[in-house]
Amino acid sequence: MKNIIITGGCGFLGSNFIKIFKVKNPEWHIINIDALTYAGNLGNLKEIENSSNYTFIHMNIKDDSIADVFKDFKPDIVLSMASETHVDRSIKDPRAFLESDILGVFNLAYNSLKYGVKKFFHISTDEVYGSLKHPTEASEYFNLNPTSPYAASKAAADLLLLSYYKTYKLPLTIIRPCNNYGNSQFAEKLIPTTIARFLTGKRAIMHGTGKEIREWITVHGCCNAILGIIKKGRVGEIYNVGSGIRLTNMMVVREIIHEIFGMFGKPTDFIEFVMNRPGNDSRYAINSSKTEKLIGKYELITFKEGIRATVDWYRKNKWFWCETNLDSNLYSEEYLR
């Protein structure tokens, strides 16, 4: 049986990916390494926790003891998903992001080389490209121009790994997805927080004017792309994973309003505007033609269908978010308009 180490597998993207990978690749043994920080939840993988081809290890990737995992399991593939990801948190506490997204990734790369890992896949982000003016789309060859400490830590990890590929022949492939949404996402990001607040009688929180543009893909669409890249991607390459669905934050919230309340209504009736976060990028847009040419179509539903399915999941799974502090916005209390 072949072994794959997946880091951050109890988080949003990681847990969704593990469930899909396990079904499609029953001959593989999955070793899930997760620190179980606030966004990691063992409940996301409860249905597979006793499977013979699944092992969970509670560990932080920045710890030196991760070498023991590589020594014991001798993985064929490493999928680096563990990361601090929330921009607001990176502004408040950048050190945690540097430790996880840089030191942690270094540990994975070092041990992958030491123990002969055959393929190393790293999940990055489209935020490394920074803000782009319309109609520019960032290809994989764009210069990196991160704004937030989060994006900067991810860009630094990308560059570190690329140096390991060039210097030590680390069998590296980098994957840069756009914004993911769907089931099991911790209620701090725009879509799950907005849904949870509406379902508890609160208004949505909107940084600034809501005109910032983001590109959106369902978590299942992103997982499909990652699976395809693991199967067909080339060592030394970078692959963007986008959808072409680019919407302002206001448009996203309006779609959620329509799905939950059955009307579009006036945004001011449903939204609480707060001061914009420092350095909030105005527009993200990536060109994913390279990835689509390699693996074909991977996002299979529309944004409207995705939002409908996501709202339905959060309605049926209040256990997942009911104890989350939905009022813990970094700026709302001090800068409420």
Which residues belong to the active site? 126-127, 150
Residue type, 207: H
The residues near 8 (Cβ < 8 Å, ≥ 6 apart) are 14, 33, 34, 40, 81, 82, 83
Give the span between the Cα atoms of 34 and 204, in whole angstroms: 31
Q: Choose among 104, 93, 154, 92: nearest CA to 127.
A: 154
Contact between residue 306 and residue 218 where contact means Cβ atoms under 8 Å apart: yes
Distance CA 139, CA 238 (A): 10
**101-139 CB burial, b ≥16 within 10 A, e <16:** bbbbbbbbbbbbbebebebbbbbbbbbbbbbbeeeebbe
What is the largest distance, in Å, between two alpha-carbon atoms of the chain? 58
Closest CA to 77 of 30, 37, 120: 120
The residues pairing with 245 across neighbouring beta strands, listed in sequence order, are none
- CB within 8 A of 150, min separation 6: which ones? 84, 85, 86, 87, 89, 90, 97, 101, 127
The 8-class DSSP code of residue 102 comes to: I
DSSP state of 208: T
CA 129 vs CA 56, 105, 182, 283, 310: distances in Å: 33, 20, 24, 10, 28
